[in-house]
């Protein structure tokens, strides 16, 4: 079980907003997160990953406290080991497709399997600037999966994919999530694109 | 025949200064590039001072600070046998301070322009801050690194006031090329002055144009 109860004030052009979430996610669940622009979806994911520190609250994953300011607990992102797919992909311009995955893991067999899932097996020597938007987005997903995370956070992960690619990839991912018993939170505006992937009640941050 | 030792001395000084500043400047630039605080702003202002201060003022303070007759200079001389006044190591120290903004400035702004998510992505993969800096951040600011190194090197070549104040004009020890030009003109030896000037001019021109060309062909990535 993942229990998250946090408060974080958001910087906004029009006054202050506060992100408030109190929610439990069963292990192995796949949940959609949605809400209007600026409501804090990305900040919410970053709080879980340890990239942003909430002002109040606690984060508990599988009986382990990740964040609890009253007892001074705040695990750094390196120790939380969540998979994170960034909205801007955050690919490393100096690394090729293969180097991205090798930076994340030493498991060659796993890398090969990921490359097949993302249909990037013929592009291993390409750097991000020579990849299309869709290919970049797939690489960002593969890199996050490379560390075999127990918890995967995805920020608009399918926005640049054409419908065919999206359907095929989501099917592959669904099988992979089940196999690795991953818990997944996906920020997405469209519930349709995630049909068949998400289970459980989606989370509205508005 | 013109004595070329001032040229070699200058190149040695510029090379040593650039290497030392690169090693010392990288962590400082990295630290300055992250977040903001009053303390950081003050440090940044101090680092930028050599850019706007008359070199003779800097040289004067260094001369006072490292005079072997008193204070720090006396202590360094007595305990370590180190003299920073009228010595080559004194020139290195003065050049180091004088060129700090040229090394740190470009590296700091390049690091600030990298999206924060690059380092964040590396952290979520379990990589330490140091590994992230060396393998993700540094390789993606290569053109700025080169610019910083060349600027530092070229700026050291062109030093005059600071060197004259703290180093004087001792052949093979502190007589760098820019001093030699001035010295030759004083002695009405225009041939030597011309040789030194031409060599300095050529070296700096080649360096600057190399940076321009490199950055033009390299910096095609949307990050630069």
**Which residues touch B188 (CB under 8 Å, ≥6 apart)?**
none
Looking at the complex, does the CB of residue B160 fall below 8 Å from at least one CB of chain A?
no
Q: Using the beta-carbon criterion (under 8 Å), do B124 and A146 form an inter-chain contact?
A: no
Chain B nearest C-alpha distance from A90 (Å): 5
Share of chain B above pLDDT 70, in %: 97
Average pLDDT over residues A97-125: 96
Of A123-127, A195-199, B10-14, B123-127, give the lowest mean pLDDT range: A195-199
Average pLDDT over residues B132-149: 93
Give the per-residue pLDDT at B137: 96
**In this complex, how many residue pairs, one in chain A and one in chain B, have their CB atoms less than 8 Å apart?**
61
Beta carbons of B99 and B21 less than 8 angstroms apart: yes
Task: Parse chain B into domains and list their residue ranges.
Answer: 5-115+141-217
Phi, psi of A18 (to 5 degrees): -125, 130
Residues of A with CB below 8 A from B120's CB?
46, 49, 51, 77, 84, 86, 90
Residue range B86-117, pLDDT digits in tens: 889 999 999 999 999 999 999 999 999 999 99
Chain A nearest C-alpha distance from B125 (Å): 6
Mutate to test the interface with A, among B115, B125, B133 (most CBs of A within 10 A): B125
Domain B5-115+141-217, architecture per CATH: Orthogonal Bundle (1.10)
Q: Using the beta-carbon criterion (under 8 Å), do A103 and B135 form an inter-chain contact?
A: yes
DSSP label at B86?
S
Q: What is the pTM of this model?
A: 0.86
Q: Residue B223: pLDDT band by 50, 70, 90 thresholds?
A: very low
Q: Computed over its alpha carbons, how large is the radius of gyration of chain A?
A: 17
Distances (CA, A) of A68 to A29, A60, A72, A162, B153: 24, 9, 6, 41, 50
Q: Residue B184: pLDDT band by 50, 70, 90 thresholds?
A: very high
């Amino acid at each position: 079980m993942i229990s998250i109860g946090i408060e974080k004030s958001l910087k906004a052009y029009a006054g202050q907003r506060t992100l408030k979430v109190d929610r439990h996610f069963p292990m192995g669940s796949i949940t959609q997160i949605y809400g209007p622009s600026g409501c804090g979806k990305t900040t919410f994911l970053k709080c879980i990953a340890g990239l942003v520190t909430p002002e109040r609250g606690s984060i508990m994953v599988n009986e382990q406290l990740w964040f609890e300011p009253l007892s001074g607990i705040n695990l750094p992102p390196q120790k939380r080991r969540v998979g994170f797919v960034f909205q801007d992909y955050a690919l490393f311009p100096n690394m090729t497709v293969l180097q991205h995955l090798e930076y994340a893991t030493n498991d060659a067999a796993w890398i090969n399997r990921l490359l097949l899932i993302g249909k990037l097996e013929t592009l291993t020597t390409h750097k991000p600037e020579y990849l299309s938007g869709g290919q970049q987005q797939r690489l960002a997903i593969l890199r996050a999966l490379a560390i075999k995370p127990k918890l995967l956070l995805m920020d608009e992960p399918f926005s640049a994919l054409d419908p065919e690619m999206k359907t095929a990839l989501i099917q592959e991912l669904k099988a992979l999530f089940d196999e690795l018993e991953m818990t997944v939170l996906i920020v997405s505006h469209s519930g349709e694109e995630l049909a068949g992937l998400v289970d459980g009640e989606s989370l509205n941050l508005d | 025949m013109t004595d070329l030792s001032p040229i070699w001395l200058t190149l040695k000084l510029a090379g040593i200064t650039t290497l030392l500043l690169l090693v010392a400047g990288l962590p400082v630039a990295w630290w300055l590039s992250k977040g903001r605080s009053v303390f950081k702003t003050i440090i940044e202002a101090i680092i930028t001072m050599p850019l706007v201060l008359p070199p003779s003022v800097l040289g004067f303070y260094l001369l006072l600070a490292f005079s072997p007759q008193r204070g720090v200079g006396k202590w360094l001389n007595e305990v370590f046998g180190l003299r920073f006044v009228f010595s080559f190591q004194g020139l290195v120290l003065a050049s180091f301070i004088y060129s700090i903004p040229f090394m740190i400035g470009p590296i700091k702004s390049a690091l600030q322009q990298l999206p924060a998510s690059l380092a964040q992505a590396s952290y979520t993969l379990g990589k330490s801050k140091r590994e992230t800096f060396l393998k993700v951040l540094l390789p993606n600011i290569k053109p700025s690194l080169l610019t910083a190194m060349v600027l530092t090197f070229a700026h050291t070549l062109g030093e005059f006031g600071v060197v004259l104040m703290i180093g004087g004009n001792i052949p093979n020890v502190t007589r760098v090329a820019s001093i030699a030009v001035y010295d030759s003109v004083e002695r009405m030896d225009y041939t030597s002055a011309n040789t030194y000037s031409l060599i300095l001019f050529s070296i700096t021109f080649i360096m600057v144009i190399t940076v321009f060309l490199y950055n033009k062909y390299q910096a095609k990535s949307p990050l630069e």
